[in-house]
Amino acid sequence: MKNKIIILLVLIFSFQDLTSKDTIRNKVDKNFYKFLAVEGVVLTGVISYLKNEWYSDKKRVPFHFYNDFKGWYQVDKFGHFYASYLESNIGYSLMKKFNFSEKKSLYLGGFQGLILETPIEFFDAYYEGWGFSVSDMVANALGSVFFITQQKVFGEQLIRPKLSFSRSIYARNAYGLLGKNNLISEFIYDYNGYTFWFSFSPNKVFKIKKIPKWLNLAIGYGADGMLGEFENKKLYKGNNLPNYNRYRQFYLSLDIDFSKLKTNSKFLKRVYNALSYIKIPLPTIELSNKKVKGHFFYF
């Protein structure tokens, strides 16, 4: 859950235009170091918030491990992968903007996801009810490696991980277990509302030139009916919880690559940059519970 705070902050941060070329090309822009200072302050603030929000009522214990690989039907692992990829993408883009070499940008900026996510796991390792999760660390590492590998091999991101979220009926019927009945709280606590996507262009991947470069296909994964990490809870704070069936969801959908939409507007460039990490609602086919369903617009 904690990496969702990072996701939210980075999505907001990504609204800036990372494609700007108005920096001085003969030296590293001093503003880069200002950015590092701001990033350090933000990360410190996030860790402080997590300590008060999640650890305040937890007993501090010796370093220990926690196996949560099967929790939330692995939606949490996709979240770690996505957050790490997102942070690595932005880290690389910033270092290129500030005139670092391709090699330094790729490996120092490209591993920013793993670097930013790792301290959270070590915090977890010292509190009861949490623990150091090896599967979280693997997902964090894979997110960074996925970005770096594509950038090194193809010189671009042919397959882009994306995120979509909508408030679920499960949160509204869970008496606070999945959030406090508002969008931000449910974004942090409710895994039912998440779908993670891998979006790619048939024009680029399959060389189907008749398909516009901006029109993508996206393969998605999510899960529904979850009122607990490993199994559904029946009671929460003295309230009886509804009986839901937990199940996985698989999707095939249309998508838009906003980076392929040309504009001279700096504002629209910022908007397109932020939207490039988000899956917008478009016609979707869902496979779940051994049934196929169609959605005109899937959120």
- Tens of pLDDT, residue by residue over 70-96, are 999 999 999 999 999 998 998 898 888
Task: Of 14-23, 102-111, 156-165, 273-282, give the lowest mean pLDDT range.
Answer: 14-23
- Per residue in 93-121, pLDDT (tens digit) is 888 888 888 998 999 889 988 988 898 89
How many structural domains are present in the chain?
2
The Cβ-side half-sphere exposure at 199, using a 13 Å CA radius, reads 28
Q: What is the pTM (predicted TM-score) of this model?
A: 0.90
Q: Do 111 and 13 fall into the same domain? A: yes
CA–CA gap between residue 221 and residue 197 (Å, rounded): 6
Last residue of a domain, one of 117, 137, 156: 156
Q: Do 220 and 111 fall into the same domain? A: no
**Nearest alpha-carbon partner for 133 in 220, 60, 68, 228:** 68
Q: Do 151 and 12 fall into the same domain? A: yes
- Token pair of 23 as six digits: 């920096």
Q: Do 214 and 299 fall into the same domain? A: yes
Residue 265 has pLDDT above 80, yes or no: yes
**Nearest alpha-carbon partner for 177 in 248, 247, 240:** 240
Structural domain range at position 136:
1-156
According to the model, what pLDDT value does residue 274 have?
83
